[in-house]
């Protein structure tokens, strides 16, 4: 039995009646009554034991009955189990409990915070979508269906229901930035609330198909980007994305090796400093190499991003190619070696070379000359100038001098750098400076002041001293295109008449110039030759030749004459006449002529062409027509005489026969009728 229940015992005596009954519990009399039944209850755990009775009447007592054992147990305590995987849940997650009882005779009630949950009496409690109101301490009780017995409350299970999902926290084990290929970084996604999470990883918003609370990455360049994670559990619950972590992954930089001092080609006892830098990064220590071997000489200083190698006094043993590499402190990152820097150490100091521009000698006051001091070895030189051995207090690689007479003399220079290095002086260069300007003479060839159209004329501009001149030509003060020391007129025209002069100039770099005097030139039209036919029309039938005469129009001077047949010279003569015959001109050619002489104009313009067949052909045609008429008359006369002689009289019979040869009209009709 269970506490709270009641039980009735009956004591029966088979004989007689009028008995009184005594009741015993575990041998101890409990009560005496005349009723043969006794009700015990509600029982407690102490009610367990042996129950007996005896009957008595008067002095008569029966023996005690056989004992009846009564066992009182506490009702079996149900066992509450949480069937869902976690006790702290989020809204809309599933909560599921089971209440285990000893047998199917028991029913179950469910309680939250000791309050009955209505309408729930199954062995399982299912909450399909948890709410905040579902949080609390859950328990169950078992109840006997038919006896009204209830058990004590089961064990409890406390459930937390959160109204919002947590945000995962993303962390990394190495906080270095940037990181370099070959390093390994471990990312960790943490949800500090509840449990049972599965983790999902994202890079630049794209799912990585990776799971697990930690993500270990052996870095390559493709791993740079923004990483985040999400936590999920069950089918419905998913957190939002975590904070993003940026992974800046870079190639391991190659150090930049450069000179810290001004030059890499040095002279004995000069100092050298080389700098090894990692651009955009810090925390490096540097290792030095010379000709591929680790180099431990010199003084090395390291800062966060730069290492400096110092050589205080260079010597030939320091010649070579230097490199450096970097190693990150506290990390496994080592760089490749830098590009080489070659250090050259010369055995002796150079001698400067002195040059000048322009190199004209002599030069004139007002011109400018530039002296240049050059050291073709190394760099970083400062220059010092001397005139006739005296310091000019002038500096710089170039010395510009606007010349005066006082600038005559010998110039030299010296190169220095740093505090210790100085070359010797250069060789001297002499400046010859003169006052005034050079004489410019304009020469005409031929020198005649009067020339004629078609003549070839040239002018020459002559300077009596120095060189490097540029020539400028003028006609009537207007510039010409010529730029050499001569100007040519290949075939003169009347428009070429005018006043000519030249000017010489040179840039030094100021413009220095001098002009010639004017030369006057006059161009007249060249006279033209003309062919005149001397043979008259009345002489056409009396002669077989033509006489031609060459006249130079508009000229009364004496000329010699040149005759051309089809452009070929056929005669040169003082005479202006030329005879053409069929023998010397069977082809009836074209003739021209020109006048020549020893004074200007030396020749005339060649005449227009004259073709002889114009007259000789007419003459021949007339002769031919005359001959044809004469012989035609003779032929007609002879023909008439011949016909007269040769013709015979006609016989009568022949005439009749001839007449009969032709049918009359009547005969023709009669013939057709047939």
**Residue 477 per-residue DSSP state:** T
Residues 6+ apart with CB under 8 A from 60: none
User: Among residues of the chain, what percentage have pLDDT more than 70?
Assistant: 92
Q: Please return the burial class of 190, using the count of CB atoms within 10 Å of its CB with bins 0-12, 13-18 and 19+.
A: middle
Distance separating alpha carbons of residues 257 and 37, to the nearest angstrom: 116
pLDDT band at 168 (very low <50, low <70, confident <90, very high): very high
- For residue 410, give the H/E element and its range: strand 409-417
Cβ atoms of 564 and 593 within 8 Å: the answer is yes
**Residue 379 per-residue DSSP state:** S
Distance separating alpha carbons of residues 348 and 356, to the nearest angstrom: 26
Tell me the backbone φ, ψ of residue 89, rounded to 5 degrees: -125, 170
Distance of CA 307 to the CA centre of its chain: 34
pLDDT band at 620 (very low <50, low <70, confident <90, very high): low
Please check the confidence at residue 223 and state whether its pLDDT lies above 70: yes
Residue 18: how many CB atoms within 10 A of its CB? Answer: 9
Of residues 635, 589, 637, 587, the one with CA closest to residue 610? 589
pLDDT band at 236 (very low <50, low <70, confident <90, very high): confident
Distance separating alpha carbons of residues 439 and 367, to the nearest angstrom: 16
Cβ atoms of 11 and 40 within 8 Å: the answer is no
Of residues 162, 143, 144, 145, the one with CA closest to residue 153? 143
Distance separating alpha carbons of residues 314 and 295, to the nearest angstrom: 15
Please check the confidence at residue 674 and state whether its pLDDT lies above 50: no
pLDDT digits (tens, 9 = 90+) for 66-89: 999 989 888 889 999 999 888 888
Distance separating alpha carbons of residues 519 and 458, to the nearest angstrom: 12
Tell me the backbone φ, ψ of residue 395, rounded to 5 degrees: -130, 165
Q: Which two tokens stand for residue 470?
A: 């540029």
Alpha-carbon separation of residue 539 from 186, 358, 545, 580 (angstroms): 133, 81, 10, 14
Q: What residue ranges define each of the domains in the chain, with the CATH number in brackets? A: 7-70 (2.60.40.10), 79-162 (2.60.40.10), 169-250 (2.60.40.10), 256-345 (2.60.40.10), 353-434 (2.60.40.10), 440-524 (2.60.40.10), 529-618 (2.60.40.10)
Please check the confidence at residue 394 and state whether its pLDDT lies above 80: yes
| The 3-state secondary structure of 322-378, one letter per residue | EEEEEEECCCCCECCCCCCEEEEECCCCCCCEEEEECCCCCEECCCEEEEEEECCCC
At CA 213, angle to CA 207 and CA 216, rounded to 5? 75
Distance separating alpha carbons of residues 492 and 474, to the nearest angstrom: 16
Of residues 136, 138, 114, the one with CA closest to residue 124? 138
Put residue 437 in one of left, alpha, beta given phi > 0 → left and psi -120 to 50 → alpha.
beta
pTM of the model: 0.47
Return mean pLDDT, the chain: 86
Predicted local confidence at residue 653, as pLDDT: 47
**Polymer length of the chain:** 674
Predicted local confidence at residue 329, as pLDDT: 84
């Amino acid at each position: 039995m269970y506490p709270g229940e009641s039980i009735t015992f009956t004591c029966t005596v088979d004989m007689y009646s009028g008995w009184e009954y005594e009741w015993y519990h575990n041998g101890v009399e409990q009560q005496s009554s005349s009723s043969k039944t006794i009700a015990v209850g509600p029982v407690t755990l102490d009610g367990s034991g042996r129950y007996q009775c005896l009957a008595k009447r008067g002095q008569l007592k029966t023996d005690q009955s056989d004992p009846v054992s009564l066992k009182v147990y506490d009702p079996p305590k149900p066992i509450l189990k949480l069937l869902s995987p976690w006790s702290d849940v989020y809204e809309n997650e599933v909560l599921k409990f089971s209440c285990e009882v000893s047998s199917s005779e028991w029913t179950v009630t469910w309680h939250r915070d000791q309050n009955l949950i209505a309408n729930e009496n199954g062995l399982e409690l299912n909450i399909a979508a948890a709410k905040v109101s579902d949080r609390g301490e859950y328990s169950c009780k078992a109840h006997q269906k038919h006896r009204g017995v209830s058990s004590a409350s089961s064990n409890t299970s406390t459930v937390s229901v959160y109204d919002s999902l947590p945000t995962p926290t993303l962390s990394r084990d190495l906080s270095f930035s940037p990181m370099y290929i070959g390093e390994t970084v471990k990312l960790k996604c943490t949800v500090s609330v509840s449990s049972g999470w599965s983790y999902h990883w994202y890079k630049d918003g794209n799912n990585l198909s990776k799971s697990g609370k930690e993500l270990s990455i052996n870095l390559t360049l493709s791993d740079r980007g923004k990483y985040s994670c999400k936590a999920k559990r069950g089918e419905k619950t998913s957190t939002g994305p975590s904070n993003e972590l940026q992974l800046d992954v870079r190639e391991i930089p190659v150090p930049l090796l450069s000179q810290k001092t001004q030059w890499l080609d040095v002279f004995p006892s000069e100092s050298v400093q080389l700098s090894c830098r990692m651009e955009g990064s810090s925390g490096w220590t540097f290792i030095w190499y010379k000709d591929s071997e680790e180099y431990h000489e010199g003084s090395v200083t390291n800062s966060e991003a730069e290492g400096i190698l110092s050589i205080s006094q260079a010597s030939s043993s320091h010649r070579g190619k230097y490199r450096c590499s970097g190693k990150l402190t506290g990390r496994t990152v080592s760089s490749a070696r830098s590009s080489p820097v070659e250090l050259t150490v010369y055995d002796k100091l150079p001698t400067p070379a002195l040059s000048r521009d322009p190199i004209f000698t002599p030069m004139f006051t007002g011109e400018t000359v530039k002296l240049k001091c050059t050291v073709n070895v190394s760099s970083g030189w400062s220059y010092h100038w001397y005139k006739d051995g005296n310091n000019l207090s002038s500096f710089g690689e170039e010395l510009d001098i606007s010349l005066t007479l006082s600038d005559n003399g010998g110039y030299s220079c010296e190169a220095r750098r740093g505090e210790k290095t100085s070359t010797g002086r250069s060789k001297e260069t002499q400046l010859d400076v003169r006052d005034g300007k050079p004489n410019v003479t304009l020469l005409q060839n031929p020198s005649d002041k009067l020339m004629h159209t078609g003549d070839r004329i040239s002018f020459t501009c002559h300077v009596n001293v120095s060189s490097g001149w540029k020539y400028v030509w003028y006609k009537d003060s207007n510039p010409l295109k010529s730029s050499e020391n001569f100007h040519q007129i290949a075939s003169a025209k009347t428009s070429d008449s005018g006043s000519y002069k030249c000017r010489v100039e040179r840039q030094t770099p100021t413009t220095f110039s001098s002009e010639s005097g004017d030369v006057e030139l006059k161009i007249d039209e060249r006279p033209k030759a003309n062919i005149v036919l001397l043979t008259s029309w009345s002489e056409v039938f009396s002669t077989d030749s033509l006489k031609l005469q060459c006249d130079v129009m508009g000229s009364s001077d004496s000329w010699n004459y040149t005759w051309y047949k089809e452009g070929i010279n056929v005669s040169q003569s003082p005479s202006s006449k030329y005879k053409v015959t069929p023998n010397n001109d069977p082809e009836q050619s074209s003739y021209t002529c020109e006048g020549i002489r020893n004074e200007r104009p030396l020749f005339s313009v060649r005449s227009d062409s004259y073709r002889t067949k114009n007259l000789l052909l007419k003459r021949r045609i007339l002769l031919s027509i005359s001959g044809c008429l004469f012989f035609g008359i003779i032929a007609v006369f002879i023909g008439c005489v011949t016909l007269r002689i040769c013709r015979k009289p006609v016989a009568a019979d022949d005439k009749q026969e001839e007449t009969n040869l032709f049918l009359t009209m009547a005969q023709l009709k009669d013939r057709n009728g047939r």
